[in-house]
Amino acid sequence: MSKTLIQPREIPEQEELNYLNNGTSLKSWLLTGDHKRIAVLYLIGISFFFFIGSIAAGLIRLQLMRPTGVLLENDTYNKVFTAHGIVMIFFFLVPSIPAVFGNFFIPLMIGARDLAFPRLNLLSWYVYMLGGVMFLAAMLGGGVDTGWTFYVPLSSMYSNTNVSLAILAAFMAGMSSILTGVNFIATIHKMRAPGMTWGRLPLFVWAHYATSIIMVLGTPVVAITLVLVLFERTFKIGIFSPELGGDPVLFQHMFWFYSHPAVYIMVLPGMGVQSELIANFCRKKVFGYHFIAISSLAIAALGFLVWGHHMYVSSQSMYQSTVFSLLSFLVAIPSAIKIFNWSATIYKGDVRLQTPMYYALAFMGLFTIGGLTGLYLASIATDVHLTATYFVVAHFHYVMVGGALTAYLGAIHYWWPKMFGRLYSDSLGKVSALLVFVGFNLTFMPQFIVGWLGMPRRYSVYYLAPEFQAYHIMSTLGSTVLGIGLFMPLCYLTYSLFKGPRASANPWGAHGLEWLTSSPPVTENFKQIPIVTDEVYDFDYERDHREHAEEADSEEVE
């Protein structure tokens, strides 16, 4: 670091304070514009909703232990799986990585003081929380039984549960994600530090750019669709219901136009995390950096053209189904580009098996299984057999949990020292990562089989096929292990907040602007806006210059 630094406009008293202790009142948190504090607020909210969704998942698994059901009435079971789906998708997976880690690290990674619109960012958290509270109210006030897809005419005509409130809640979650997307796009375009060219952007930022485009372009369509369902439910006018002259398949078109790309809202940020983890724990520049960056955009673009693969068994035209099937297969290409490039990065890398790398490796395997089983569902003939079976459930859990959740856990273990300035126990982290991996596979691998054999999803009982019980018991057992694996980080990470050893600015020896600031970062991120002169993931350079940089750091502190 050069010593000819010019201090920018900066209030001198703030320099010792980091973002966590710079103001401790509740108001300083609830009215903050600091992207890092908002990310922490999101982390709290998202963890809470993840907990709620997990309880619902546990109830589902418990119910299916016996062919005649264990605990829940049929109606209650419907409400429980709906709650699981809506909470996990709208209130956990969609905001998870973008709103927590994207919010926290995009400005740090591109060398900005904050996101472009801090107040919009805070607003998005409030909208998200408002939506969450509304859904909790809908759940406590009797629940919703339509499934997270809100299919008409059940949702608009027949269901007499709290569909309207749940729809408004999902609408709110969508608004919040639009605000996040707009913010990220403006930030990534205009807030990059000098020298931070597009070719030097970390892949995490590239992935979030693609994600934001989907958020901004896709979410409004589902928002208006849900508003129309609400309209139909309230005024009884025929937009989607066939008995009123509407068309239920039109709802599916509009719903899946968003909800297929929403899969990429959930998994693209995870792929961004994956690129960061692989680069750091293999001490190598990511192989095929440009291909991975462009493949994120390709996934975003292709993702908008494949929604019909959810509708093969609706009345969709078979010609249209063929087109959608073909386009769906094409998505495999950019996804495979990523997987192959990560594998090539690991090859001959200086691999360091620490907790985040465990999650990164798990992601690669599990996401590959999730993606490949997707091909069964993208081809029309097999999909007709597999639609609405546990095969589908297992497939998207491999993508959502094996992909997005695993990446979320990897991200939290990778950036925890930076976010809170504390180190956690790496051995406990490894144990929990292994439990998550084993538990997850034990939960969902049997579901592939039982789905292939014909177990339909969303059934509360299966006494006509008692031979499925063994698979379900395996699955429930696995989910228990998974639950323990997920509960452990909650304990040791919380413990580390108070008792963990303090983290240095760059505990992993990682490369990237976010590791240049202190841990935890100061309020405005950088004492001075850095000028980027080296390439992204330039680990050789890093090795050569680390000592020099540390010297400069210590001098600066003095």
Partner 1 sequence: MSELTLDPHNDSHDEHNHHVHPVSSYLKTLGALFVLMVITVWAAQIPLGSWGNNLVAMGIATTKATLVVLYFMHVRYGTSLVKLWAILGFLWVPLLGFTLADYATRQYEMVPTWNANDKGSALARDRSGTVGDSKKSMEEQTEANVRGRF
Partner 2 sequence: MASTAVDTHAHHHPGLHHQFEDIEQQNEAYLVGMWSFMVNEIMFFGGVFLVYCLYRWRYQDDFYAIHHELNWKMGAFNTTVLLFSSFSMVMAVHFATLKDRMKTLMNLALTCACAFTFLIVKYFEYGAKFEHKLFPGPNFRPELEHLNGANPNVAQLFMSLYFGITGLHALHIIIGILIIGILMGFWYKKNPLVTEDFLPTEMVGLYWHFVDLVWIFLFPLFYLIPR
Using CB under 8 A as the criterion, which residues of the chain lie in contact with partner 2 when the complex forms?
1-2, 4-9, 107, 112-118, 120, 178, 181-183, 185-187, 189-191, 193-194, 212, 216-221, 223-225, 228, 231, 235-239, 244-247, 250, 253-254, 511-513, 516, 524, 528-534, 549
Q: Of these partners, partner 1, partner 2, Cu ion, none, which one is at the site of residue 304 (CB under 5 to 8 Å by kind)? A: partner 1
Shortest Å, Cβ 395 to Cu ion: 10
Least distance from C-beta 35 to partner 1, angstroms? 22
In whole angstroms, the minimum distance from the beta carbon of 199 to partner 1 comes to 17
Q: Residue 352 or 385: which CB sits closer to Cu ion?
A: 385
Give the one entry of partner 2, partner 1, Cu ion, none that residue 108 binds, where binding means its C-beta sits below a cut-off of 5 to 8 angstroms depending on kind.
none
Restricting to residues 248-267, name those near Cu ion by CB under 5 A.
260
The residues near 353 (Cβ < 8 Å, ≥ 6 apart) are: 281, 430
134 within 8 A of 539, measured Cβ to Cβ: no
Interacting partner of 554 out of Cu ion, partner 2, partner 1, none (Cβ under 5 to 8 A depending on kind): none
Please check whether residue 327 is in contact with residue 306, taking contact to mean a CB–CB distance below 8 angstroms: yes
Rounded to 5°, angle at Cα 499 from 497 and 500: 70
Q: How far is the CB of 508 from Cu ion (least distance, A)?
A: 35
523-555 burial, b at 16+ Cβ within 10 Å, e below that, comes to bbbbbebbebeeebbebeebeeeeeeeeeeeee
Distance CA 283, CA 540 (A): 8
Beta carbons within 10 angstroms of residue 45's beta carbon? 19
Which of 330, 305, 325, 319 minimizes the C-alpha distance to 376?
325
* Amino acid present at 226: L
5 contact, one of Cu ion, partner 2, partner 1, none, CB 5-8 Å limit per kind: partner 2
Q: How far is the CB of 184 from partner 1 (least distance, A)?
A: 14
Site residues (vs partner 1, CB under 8 A) = 189, 194, 213, 217, 221, 242, 245, 247-250, 253-254, 257, 304-305, 308, 315-320, 323-324
Residue 479 C-beta: closest distance to Cu ion, Å = 24
Quick one: what does residue 116 bind among partner 1, partner 2, Cu ion, none, with the CB cut-off 5 to 8 Å set by partner type? Answer: partner 2
User: CB under 8 Å to 309, separation ≥6 — which residues?
Assistant: 260, 321, 324, 325, 328, 377, 378, 383
157 interacts with, out of Cu ion, partner 1, partner 2, none, CB within 5 to 8 A per kind? none
Nearest distance from residue 294's CB to partner 2, in Å?
A: 20
Cβ-contact 345, 279 below 8 angstroms: yes
Rounded CA-CA distance 328/374 in Å is 9
Cβ proximity to partner 2: between 22 and 479 the closer is 22
Output the smallest distance, CB 213 to partner 1, in A: 8
Of the pair 325, 432, the CB lying nearest partner 1 is at 325
Q: Which of partner 2, partner 1, Cu ion, none does residue 453 bind (CB under 5 to 8 Å by kind)? A: none
By C-alpha distance, which of 128, 221, 137 is closest to 170?
128
User: Going residue by residue from 440 to 459, which x/- string records binding to Cu ion, judged by CB under 5 A?
Assistant: --------------------
Which of the choices partner 2, Cu ion, partner 1, none does residue 318 contact, using the CB cut-off of 5 to 8 A by kind? partner 1
260 binds, among partner 2, partner 1, Cu ion, none (CB under 5 to 8 A by kind): Cu ion
Residues near 550 by beta carbon (within 8 Å), at least 6 away in sequence? none
Q: Which option in Cu ion, partner 1, partner 2, none does residue 319 bind, with CB closer than 5 to 8 A by kind?
A: partner 1
The answer to whether 18 and 521 have CB atoms below 8 angstroms apart is yes
**Choosing among partner 1, partner 2, Cu ion, none, which partner's interface includes residue 427 (Cβ < 5 to 8 Å by kind)?**
none
**Minimum CB–partner distance for residue 541 and partner 2 (Å):** 9
Question: What gap in Å lies between CA 102 and CA 215, rounded to an integer?
Answer: 13
What is the nearest approach in angstroms of partner 1 to the Cβ of residue 187?
A: 14
What single-letter DSSP state applies at residue 22? Answer: S
CA 452 to chain centre: 28
Measured CA to CA, the distance from residue 496 to residue 315 in angstroms comes to: 55
Please identify, using beta-carbon distances, which residue of 205 and 369 lies nearer to partner 2.
Answer: 205
| Cβ count within 10 A of residue 99 | 25
Residue number, 250 or 380, with CB nearest to partner 1: 250
Partner from partner 2, Cu ion, partner 1, none binding residue 237, C-beta < 5-8 Å depending on class: partner 2
Shortest CB 490 distance to partner 1, Å: 40
Q: Quick one: which of 225, 52, 228 has its CA closest to 138?
A: 52
**Residue 520: which of partner 2, Cu ion, partner 1, none does it interact with, CB under 5 to 8 A by kind?**
none
How many CB atoms sit inside 10 A of residue 449's CB? 16
What residue type is assigned to position 452 of the chain? Answer: W
Distance CA 82, CA 297 (A): 31
The least distance separating partner 2 from the CB of residue 236, rounded to whole angstroms, comes to: 6
In angstroms, the Cα distances linking 61 to 80, 169, 251, 458, 481 are 11, 26, 30, 12, 12
Nearest alpha carbon to residue 255 among 407, 161, 152: 152
* Cα distance between residue 234 and residue 74, in whole Å: 26
147: left (phi over 0), alpha (psi -120 to 50) or beta: left
Residues paired with residue 489 on neighbouring β-strands, in sequence order: none
The answer to whether 159 and 146 are in contact (CB under 8 A) is yes
CB of 318 to partner 1, least distance (A): 7
Q: Which residues bind Cu ion (CB under 5 A)?
A: 260
